[in-house]
Every structure is written in structure tokens, then in C-alpha cells.
Structure 1
């Protein structure tokens, strides 16, 4: 045989070996996680079974067992029955060998079901050796990142393809072997060599070998220290829990993850390929399905409950289209989330992103049209841009899509024109639409007129699941309780807002006066034009739509007054809780807030609400401005995120770009990391959080001076007012 044939086989063998190494390294990393997870999982299962009454065995056996004598003997839980074993059961009067076997078999089936469903919780405030071992083991896989995950998938695919090909091509590795092989084996060997050569060429073009090599390096990295692993877990807990959900190999609730779509439609969505090579983060299973749904159905409403990551699903769909040659995308959203969209696209993908907003928006639009990328603009600004030609824009994404539910408004008409010219359109809303058929029909009329006309007001009476099946071709919604069983109960989001013109004027006045405290609350000085207040209102309204209570924290009493006036007339508002309210009265206010059967808002000064009160009735927390010490925010959030909280807690920290908030966040970031890494692990530091000195006065002076310099006020520099 020729030299080129032998070289092709050798190249295939080297690639196969590299793939096998990655698979082996990943397998050992997974085994380490499984080993660390097992004692925690066994303990959680044992606790669950010990809390399960023995009467549940009747359900498993459809009432065929008589358990009265078992309960009288003191074995009142399923856990106690399993612990007793067959010998102890047979000692109970009336329990023979057959009955004992039936009881134990039923208990074992229930134990297996609990094992499948139980979720291991990692308590970051009470680290102990077993959870530390689990976090360290997970850290290796988290650090490998999305590229590591892609490398493992490629390695598995290459191993499956190259193994049989190399076996068939073995005779071609030498002339004598080829001579001794029969005609059929020679033919099969030459065909395998051609396939190997083609595969190796594809791999070389895609740079797969470099990806595999890097993955091996990452997976062989030594274990992190316990402090480093815990700090990283706090920063990226969702990624840890995402991996943890996959490690045991448990099958998720497929129906819930797929929004209870009809089987035929769900199968079509699963067949839709998703190229995630442009993403910088990994997707959870339900998020990947959501992105596939958007691509397969082309024009849809993604109505996932707040906190499930609608934005990353949209970005995943955009990056897929970009890999297929699409170059232009448009995101339209309220002004309050403009900056968040830009930051998310830039941080989570390789896509170019441009802000099409403000006085230079038309120049920016012209640049976007010429160079491509993701344009991010507002509903009002969209009206001023020319409608694109057919096929020019790969996808239109409309965030807070319920804002265009009224077809008579100019913003809705502008969106409708863009939707008509785009092959893909994604409407996003966290507001449940099942009981708002009229509004929902208006939205989907832009996407699928025929389906919209078939909906009637009375269709909502069929129930939410049945209604979602009826509108399945255009609507996907998942709830947190259905798909986030493994996620931690705390999710934190920095809401970056761009100051309005009015906000900016108030802020400049505070900077000119050298008043640090006025700078911190300038964004609320003129409520009618406040960007932060607008976003706060959206968060509260969406929480209310989902039946959730909200607690709003601020350092400043006057800010709470402004917030209270802005929210008046909506959901019930309680408080404000301030330092001047007697302790007994404070608890009464909190109790009244908790007693409200539906949505409500509690206003609290962060120093007063951050200590001594339990606010676990709230599952949404809003912090109006960054605090001087990280402990202040942590103690406030802990009022809601504590034992007794039955829903995930979402924390929204309102931050303004380009001013005091941004400077405070940057200056405190290093101190926060140090505090998390060391002081938080210390019982003394937890009891006396002020022991971590942040030097308030010096911090204020530095920020005022830097802001005066940035805004050209150096000649007017004054000492900061306290």
C-alpha cells in the first residue's frame, strides 16, 4: 500500500487516541463527583424516607397491603421498614415471609423513586467536609467551561466513528496485511481509509485537535483549594448545580422541560440542530430545548417564568443563526434593560453588539446596517428606523413583549412591520398569558395570524396546560418549580440602567456639590423620569403577575418614600420599615405583609430591615443602590433567603452606568471577594461584620474626586458631604 494510505491511518489513530484520552479524563472527573455526591445523596434519601409515612406503601401496591400491624410495631415510616429488614418484619404478628417480601419490595421501589427525585442542596453558609469535597470535584468540570463540554461531546463522537473505521482499515496499515486480506476486507479497508482521511481533514479545518488538547489540560488540572472552590461556587452556583443535575444520570421531567408540548411538535423541536459554538456559557437542558423551539418554529413567544434565562436562550438562537451565515439581528426592549442586553450578548457570546439609542442612534444604525451584529434599541427608537428588506435581518427579538399587546399603538405597529420582514421573530415575556387570551391573541397575530384568529376568549377556561397545548406551535412556557429542582434558592442579578437626561442632571448637581450621599440617590430625585424607578416598577409588576411578593431595600428613607408613591395604586404596599419604627411594630408590619394572600410589596431601610426580621414571604428582593459594605446587602438578603422560604429568591440590584454606582461596585469587588473567602467563614466575623473595614469616608472622598474629574469639575472639587 502507498505511503499516503499508511499516513492517513496513522493520523486517524492519533486522533482516536486523543479523543480517548479526553473521554477518559472526563470520565474520571465525573467519577470523582459521583463519589463525593453519593454520601450526601444517600443522606438526603434516608431523611426523605424517614419522613415518609408507611401508609405510602399502600399507594405503591394499589392498596393490596395491610399495614396496621406494621405501624403498631413502631415502624411508622418507610425508612424504618427498610432499616428493619426481613427478619424483624417476620417477628411481627400476622406478617409472614410472603408479606414481608411484598412490603420490602414496595419500600425499595419507593426508595428508588426518591433516589431519582431527591436534590442535594449545597449550603454555602455551613460548609462541611463532604460538601466541600463535592464543590471541589465539581470545580474541575466547571473550570473546563463550555469549550470543555464541547470537546467531550466531540471526543465521544470521534471515538464512536473512528473505532470501527480503524478496525476496518487495519489491513491497509501494511502491504503484507493487505496482501493476505481477502477481496472484501481489502475493499472495506480502502473505503475506511477514505472515510478516515475525510474525517481527519474536517477535524483539522475545525481546529478540533487543539480543542481536545486544551480539554485534557483543563481536566488534568490539580484540585482547587477549598476556599477558592467555595468562592467560585458562590459566583457561579448555577453552573455547579447545572452540572450536578446531569452527573447522577437522572432523567429530568421531560414534559415540564418541554413545556408540555404535544409529542409530535416536541419531537420536531428535538430534531432541530443547535450550533452553540458561538456561546461562552453552557446551556441547561430546558434552555437548549427553548433555543431549538425558537429556531424550529421561527416566530414564537417564549413565556418562561422570570429567572429561567430567557435572554440566554435568545442569544443561543442568535449565535446559531450567525453560524449559518446570518449577519444582522435586532433586539427591541424597554430602556431599562438596554444596558443589560448589551452586557449579556457581549459576555455570553462571540457576537458583536451595538447600542442603537440616544442622540447618535441613526449614525449607530447606519454602522450596524453596514457591519452587522446585534443591534439593541428601544420600542420608540425602532419607529424611527427604516423597515428592513425581506431576509435582511436574521431575527427580531422583542423583550417585555407584552408592551406591544395593544395593536393600535405606534410601537406595536412598528414591531409588526419588522416581524413581517424577518424570517425569525422571538417575543419574550415573563408574564403568564394563559388567562389573557385577548392580549395573547394580539401578540400572536403578529407572528401567526391564522392561529390568532382561531383563539376565543373562552378558550382559557380549558386550563393552562390544555391552553398551552392549543397554542403550542407559537408559545412555550416553563415554570421554575418544574425545571429548577437542583438550582440554589438564591439568584442575584445586577440590573444596569442608563441614566435618563433628568437623572443625569440631578447627578451632576450632586457631584458639583461634592455630596456623596446625594450622588448615591440622584437617580430617584426626579421620579417622573427615573430610569431606576421605571425598572423597579417593571420588576414589581412582573412579580405580581406571577403571584410573588417583593421586598424593596434602600439606605435612604426619602428614596423609599419615592418608591412608595410610585407603586401606590398597584399591589398593596407595606412600610416603610425604618430605624425609627419600634421593634414590635416592625414585626407587625412584616406579619401584615406576609398575611396578604397575593402579591404585595414591603419597603424597608436596609439597615433596619437587614437585622432581626424574617421576610421569607418575599421571593423577590430589590436593592435600590449599592451599599458601602458587602455585609449590609448580604444581611438584608438573608432576611428573605432563610429557612422557611419555599420559593427561589431572586435579588435585583439596581445600578446606574458611568457614575457612583459603577465606581462603588469596582472598588468594593476586591473587598467582597476577600470577605467571601475569609471573613464569611469566620464565626467571629459573622457576629461582628464591621470588623471588615471598608473605610467609608476615604471611599466617598475618592469617588467624589474621581467623578468631579471625569465630569470636568476639578476646579469645583469639594469635600464630600456625609
Structure 2
């Protein structure tokens, strides 16, 4: 009944009353000339000071548009009850807020320790004691989100490593809004180009902060405007190194936010050096990443060196070997992580199904040719080489037809643009995309918006690299992955685009696989790696006692699979150098494999 802004309105009104109450008492004699006439000189001076402070408080409230906020909430309260249909539509649009309120009222919210990332009690108490100023915020935060924003403010230089779907962006915006309310004027956000437009949209929707894109041909003039007028400057990793360095321009932003911060884990890269220049001249720095410890502790340690260099030497692999709590204690001053299962008790079910198929004769011929040539990437997409007889493609059409019958939206992910092109031609449904790294970020966002705006069934095609970072696809409730991925995190991130906060339906994930093929070999080898990733990156309680299992390079994995398949099919023509194959720019695919050896290619 009260609408989405009631909590913010009540909190703001409470603070205003708390401030005005004592001032109005002190200014009481100013209500009448006679009372002021019989008030002593010193008392009259105090009364006039109180009157001035009342004027200041009222002026600040008007500047924050509190009268408009209070008026809107009052109108919401006076409205007649909505129809059942309107209520359901509102629930679909704001399901996260409904679930959050229900959890709060029923006492069924997440465990507090889990919501606070199992931080040491003293540190958690200090973070809880910081009061978040939401004067410039336009969204109600969940409890764990408020804690995350306060952690960033209290600890000043930290990594927020929440699992995807928990609202890291919102927590960063809340921290920026707090600092803005306290007088800071300049903020800098650095992110991949693919999510820059999403940052601009999120900041505008969830705060009153002014945004200014600083990239493209006009980035220098935009930087000059930001330097002069302030606001939130949004730039990319590639653009940052072309801008004046922090030391040269004399600017000290109130906070630097680095999204997808694992892009700067390699200190030798240009992007890492550019970010480092700003971190050294900024008091408050917030790194956002869902997978900061994907492979080795050293990668996590390199991120900490940007933030708290004195802490990095104390982080050892032995902390992981000793278990989760030991590792958490070691990194607590600079690291906070929460997982969906711990804090999003309302998230609908995630149903994952492996769709196993057998090669058709045509598929098998194409696969044998790829194996004989020792071509790892062609082996991975051989199941789609003969569309007319493709077993995977036939099953994909069946899944899409079932989704269409239920009016559900579908996202189809593949590593290969060639596969997505084949899928698009095979479908009769309304098809959007494919999304790929070559599509400009604004057009990519428009495709997702158009897909979400369709009434009922539609299909969105996306390269898994382009759709797995920073884009929200929660209008889809069916996810189809065309082939297994070399890195477990790539699939986790892609699925999390749909299975995230705000989703109101069960999300079905279908992974298309072929038995006795590269798919099965990959799953066999990756099974142990994925278990270790799940334990290590999500739970932080596995050390580098088996570094070969935690950090299997793409090249080593590809080489092993090619050799095994050549032996199995008795086509021992000599394995190619699969390490080169794993990072090549494939002629038909047009994209590089995701590998740290090619960071500039990967971001592009």
C-alpha cells in the first residue's frame, strides 16, 4: 500500500524530526515578539542561532526533495486497494522488494553471520555502527547490501566479492551516495566497455548522482568537465590509461570503484598500471568482482596489493589449507563475500539438466575430421556442422518449442558465433542477437531491452563471454548452453545473468552434451577442477595443495583432450599444439579464448 519509497521516507522523516525537535524547542521564544522582548541578550542570541539552524535544516530537506518524497508516499497511502491483476503485475516488477519485506516481517531472513560474510565480531560491530546516509539514494537496500556498503566505507579500501546476482553495483552506488551526502563531489568508476552503459543506467535509476561517460573520442573534454563540475565519471579500462594520471591532474576522488576487478590481477598489464596510479592517490577504493580467487591465492593477493599493500604479505596458501575461517580472518580487513544460497533465501529454484545426445552419422563424420586434424575448437562445435542432421540442434529446437508453449523466454549461450548463427537459422521463434563482443555496448543493451520487452516467448542468442559479464537477463527463465566451457566460472556467470535477484520463476538450465566426444572428455577432466573451484572460490577453504588441479591451463586441457580423442578414434595423426589453439583468434568464430595470456583481446 505504501509504495516502494515508504522505508526511505520514514527513515528520512525520522532523522528530520530528530534534528528539528531540539531546534524548535530552543527557537520557541521567536514565535512571538513579546516573548523575545523579555528574553535576555544571551538567551536571545541562542534563540536566533536555533532559528537559523531550523532554516538550514528545512533548506537541506528541500534540496533533497523530501517534500516531494513525503507527498508521494502520502498519496500512495491514500490510494484505494489495487485489483488482483495489478498486484500481481507489481509483484513481477518488484519481486525482490516483496520477498525482502516478507522475509523481514516473518523473521525468515538470512543468517546474520552469513549476511555479514563471517567477519570477525569486532570488525562486524564497527561496520554495523556506521550509519548509512541514503539522502541521495532511490532504492531500499536489503540488510546484507546495507552492510556491504558500510563495510566499504568503514574499511575504505576493500574487495567486495559477492556472488553474482547479489547486487554489488547497488552496494557501490549506496557507498557513493553516502559520501556525496557527506560533501564529496568527485567519483570515478572503471569497468569493461560492455557494462559501462549499465552502470550509467543503474546510477541514474538508483540515486540522484550525476553521471558523466568519459570514453570514446570526446573522453578528454568529458574528463575536463568532470574535473571542473564533479559527479560520477564512468570510464573503461582501455580509456583510463589515455586520461591524465591522478598525480598529474591533482584530483582525489571521494571513491574509486573498479568493476570486474579481476581484470587487473596481472600487475604487468597496461590496465592494471593505470588503475594502480589512481588507487595510490585515492583514499577510498572499492573493487568489485565475483571471482577474485578463481585460480590461485597469488591472484587474490595481487588485488590486495592495490588496496592494502601491507596486508598482502600476510596472506598465505596455508590459510586456505587451514579452512575457511582461517582464510576469512586473514583477509577480513580487505575482503567481503556472500553467496546467493546464504542471503537470497527467496531466490526461485535453479533446475540444471544435462541433455545428453548421440552423434548423428553426419555429426560423427564432422567430428572425426576435426579430431583427425587435431583441431580442438572445431571438435567443440562439430555437433552443429551438419544442421540438417544435428542431434544437439534438434534437441535445442525441442526445448525452445516447449518454452514457447509455456510463454517462456529463452537465452541460448555458445562460445562460438558460428554456432549461434546456425541456431538462429534453425529457430522459428522471435530471435534477438546474437550478442557478441564486437557489438557496441549501447546496442548490446538495446537488444537485451527489446528482448525483455517482448510479451511472452522470445529467444536471445549470446556468446557466453559477452553475456556472462555485467548484463541482466532475468526476464528469461530458460537457459540453454550449447557446449561445455573450459572454465567452470564462464557457465556460472552466464546462468547467474538469469538466475539472480528479481527473478520470480524457476530457472531451467539445459546443457547440451554429446556422449563419447570432446564434451564428455571435458566434463571428466573439469569435474575435479569445478569441485575445487566451488570449494575454493565460493567457500574459501581449499588451499593450493594441488595447484595443478586448481589451475589447469586452457592449453593443457585442450592438448589432453585432443590426444585422448585421437587415441580413442584411432586417428593418431599427431596432436597439434593445443596451447596455441586455445588462445587463437579462430577464423570462423571471430573471438579469442578467455585466457590471461591475451588480456587485451579478452576485453575486446
Interval of TM-score (by shorter of Structure 1 and Structure 2): 0.5 to 0.7
Shift of 1:301: 0.4
1:322 matched residue in structure 2:
180
- Mean Cα deviation higher: 259-268 or 226-235: 226-235
- Would you say 1:349 and 2:349 are equivalent positions? no
Shift of 1:378: 1.7
- Mean Cα deviation higher: 191-200 or 239-248: 191-200
Shift of 1:669: 3.2
Shift of 1:664: 9.2
- Would you say 1:381 and 2:239 are equivalent positions? yes
1:690 matched residue in structure 2:
none
Q: RCO higher in 1 or 2 (8 Å CA, sep ≥ 6)?
A: 2
Equivalent of 1:453 in 308, 313, 318: 313
CA–CA separation in structure 2 for the residues paired with 1:271 and 1:571: 57
Shift of 1:414: 1.3
The equivalences for 1:148-167 within 5 A come to 148-156=6-14
Figure out how many residues of one structure are paired with residues of the other and give that number. Answer: 416
1:688 matched residue in structure 2:
none
> Could you list the per-position Cα deviations for residues 433-480 of structure 1 after superposition, in whole angstroms to 9, with x for gaps in the alignment?
286211111110111111001122222112233312211000000001
Shift of 1:298: 0.9
- Mean Cα deviation higher: 251-260 or 469-478: 251-260
- Would you say 1:489 and 2:348 are equivalent positions? yes
Tell me if structure 1 keeps the 8 A contact 2:383–2:392.
Answer: no
Shift of 1:213: 3.9
Equivalent of 1:290 in 144, 148, 154: 148
Shift of 1:204: 5.7
Shift of 1:200: 7.9
Equivalent of 2:57 in 184, 202, 209: 202
1:683 matched residue in structure 2:
none
- Would you say 1:236 and 2:94 are equivalent positions? yes
The equivalences for 1:14-53 within 5 A come to none
Shift of 1:305: 0.3
Equivalent of 1:662 in 446, 467, 472: 446
CA–CA separation in structure 2 for the residues paired with 1:248 and 1:200: 41
CA–CA separation in structure 2 for the residues paired with 1:322 and 1:313: 14
CA–CA separation in structure 2 for the residues paired with 1:489 and 1:549: 13
- Would you say 1:395 and 2:188 are equivalent positions? no
CA–CA separation in structure 1 for the residues paired with 2:378 and 2:180: 42
Q: Which runs of 5+ in 1 are unaligned?
A: 1-139, 175-190, 492-547, 553-560, 587-602, 637-651, 674-722
Change beyond 3 A, Cα 1:274–1:668: closer
1:478 matched residue in structure 2:
338
CA–CA separation in structure 2 for the residues paired with 1:653 and 1:239: 32
Indicate the SS of the match to 2:106: coil
Shift of 1:291: 0.6
Tell me if structure 2 keeps the 8 A contact 1:551–1:604.
Answer: no
2:196 matched residue in structure 1:
338
Tell me if structure 2 keeps the 8 A contact 1:437–1:459.
Answer: no
Equivalent of 1:257 in 115, 119, 128: 115
- Would you say 1:245 and 2:38 are equivalent positions? no
> Could you list the per-position Cα deviations for residues 258-297 of structure 1 after superposition, in whole angstroms to 9, with x for gaps in the alignment?
1011111111111222211212211111111111111111
Shift of 1:216: 2.1
- Would you say 1:271 and 2:129 are equivalent positions? yes
- Would you say 1:216 and 2:74 are equivalent positions? yes
TM-score (norm 1): 0.48
CA–CA separation in structure 2 for the residues paired with 1:622 and 1:671: 22
1:14 matched residue in structure 2:
none
Shift of 1:671: 4.6
CA–CA separation in structure 1 for the residues paired with 2:23 and 2:254: 39
Shift of 1:367: 2.5
The equivalences for 1:421-432 within 5 A come to 421-431=281-291
Tell me if structure 1 keeps the 8 A contact 2:103–2:109.
Answer: no
CA–CA separation in structure 2 for the residues paired with 1:227 and 1:161: 42
1:56 matched residue in structure 2:
none
CA–CA separation in structure 2 for the residues paired with 1:314 and 1:460: 28
CA–CA separation in structure 1 for the residues paired with 2:379 and 2:160: 26
1:433 matched residue in structure 2:
293
Tell me if structure 1 keeps the 8 A contact 2:152–2:175.
Answer: yes
Indicate the SS of the match to 1:441: helix
Indicate the SS of the match to 1:459: helix
Change beyond 3 A, Cα 1:223–1:267: same
1:372 matched residue in structure 2:
230
Root-mean-square deviation over aligned CA pairs:
5.1
CA–CA separation in structure 1 for the residues paired with 2:25 and 2:218: 63
CA–CA separation in structure 1 for the residues paired with 2:380 and 2:208: 44
Change beyond 3 A, Cα 1:585–1:426: same
Tell me if structure 1 keeps the 8 A contact 2:246–2:252.
Answer: yes
Indicate the SS of the match to 1:279: coil
CA–CA separation in structure 1 for the residues paired with 2:214 and 2:168: 21
Shift of 1:322: 1.6
> Could you list the per-position Cα deviations for residues 687-712 of structure 1 after superposition, in whole angstroms to 9, with x for gaps in the alignment?
xxxxxxxxxxxxxxxxxxxxxxxxxx
Shift of 1:431: 0.7
Tell me if structure 1 keeps the 8 A contact 2:23–2:51.
Answer: yes
> Could you list the per-position Cα deviations for residues 656-704 of structure 1 after superposition, in whole angstroms to 9, with x for gaps in the alignment?
666698389559837569xxxxxxxxxxxxxxxxxxxxxxxxxxxxxxx
Indicate the SS of the match to 1:336: helix
CA–CA separation in structure 1 for the residues paired with 2:404 and 2:451: 25
Equivalent of 1:443 in 274, 296, 303: 303
Q: Which runs of 5+ in 2 are unaligned?
A: 33-45, 356-365, 415-419, 458-604
CA–CA separation in structure 2 for the residues paired with 1:257 and 1:391: 35
